[in-house]
Structure 1
Amino acid sequence: MPRMSKPIPYPPPGLKTLLLASMSPKVAATKGAATKHKFVIDYSKPAADGVFDGADFEKFLHDRIKVEGKAGQLGENVKVVRDGNTKITVTSSIPFSKRYLKYLTKKFLKKNSLRDWIRVVASSKDNYQLRFYNIAGAGDEEEED
């Protein structure tokens, strides 16, 4: 069996430099560059029929949205504003999920027993729209013998 003339040093040269470079502290982003998220929930169709109350929905969102694990304490980070009787705008200066708004909207509909008639549809990248299910054609069909 041939013998190696020099043993391989442990740790290999350059490993210490590699480890130190990968463990260097990361540079944090500045707070001035915080992204703003603006989401709109349009409930004009159900409100026009009188089955949806925008003021209750606004209060529900204000009480249920969690910021840093605490519900109802929005502070300056999240703002919930009702625009007339057609839209609610949620503006956030912290990371905020559009999907979370859909979850809360569906929860509100279920609480008010409206989930069987109204659905939440994404109409654009930052908008949701409440629409009635399309059930007009269900009872109009005639059976043929």
Structure 2
Amino acid sequence: MRSRQLVLPRRLLLTSCLQFVINAQQPASDKIFDTAAFEKFLQDKIKVDGRVGNLGDTVVIQQAGEGKVEIIAHNELSGRYLKYLTKKFLKKQQLRDWLRVVSTSRGVYELKFFNVVNDDADDDED
């Protein structure tokens, strides 16, 4: 009698590690963005297997320097989902009118101020 071997799917054998960085150094240095509150928000809101607060060991969220938040996921996590949650946090803090989320490279998102151009020259002509 032969013993049966358990054959795991290939996707379970290959453990991928996704790393994302959200860089908010510029707004944090201006004291309008609280990175600790943002880190707490992400820990409360990120869904794993369809449930909020189910991070466990699969998702690690930590501050990486001044104004940077690093997310390391050992399961499938979308960068677009992190961008969505960042926008949601900005809206909640009423910062969405001044800040935007820009992808500077793969897995790196940066919070930048909107470029506001004053139309003082047009107002003076009237």
- Bin for the TM-score computed over the shorter chain: 0.7 to 0.9
Show CA shifts across 1:47-98 (max 9, x none): 0110000000000000000001111120010010111332001000101100
**Percent of matched pairs sharing the same residue:** 46
TM-score, with length taken from structure 2: 0.87
- In structure 2, the CA distance between the partners of 1:30 and 1:129, relative to structure 1 (3 Å rule), is closer
TM-score, with length taken from structure 1: 0.76
Match of 2:3 in 1: none
Q: Where does 1:1-145 land on structure 2 (aligned, <5 Å)?
A: 28-29=9-10, 31-135=12-116, 137-143=117-123, 144=125
Deviation at 1:120, TM superposition (A): 0.3
CA distance in 2, matches of 1:109, 1:98: 17
Deviation at 1:29, TM superposition (A): 0.7
- Greater RCO (CA < 8 Å, at least 6 residues apart): 2
Which residue identity lines up with residue 37 of structure 1 in the other structure? L
Which residue identity lines up with residue 123 of structure 1 in the other structure? T
Bigger Cα Rg: 1
CA distance in 1, matches of 2:89, 2:11: 36
Segments of 5+ residues of structure 2 without an aligned counterpart are 1-7
Deviation at 1:142, TM superposition (A): 3.1
The Cα RMSD (Å) is 1.5
- In structure 2, the CA distance between the partners of 1:94 and 1:140, relative to structure 1 (3 Å rule), is same
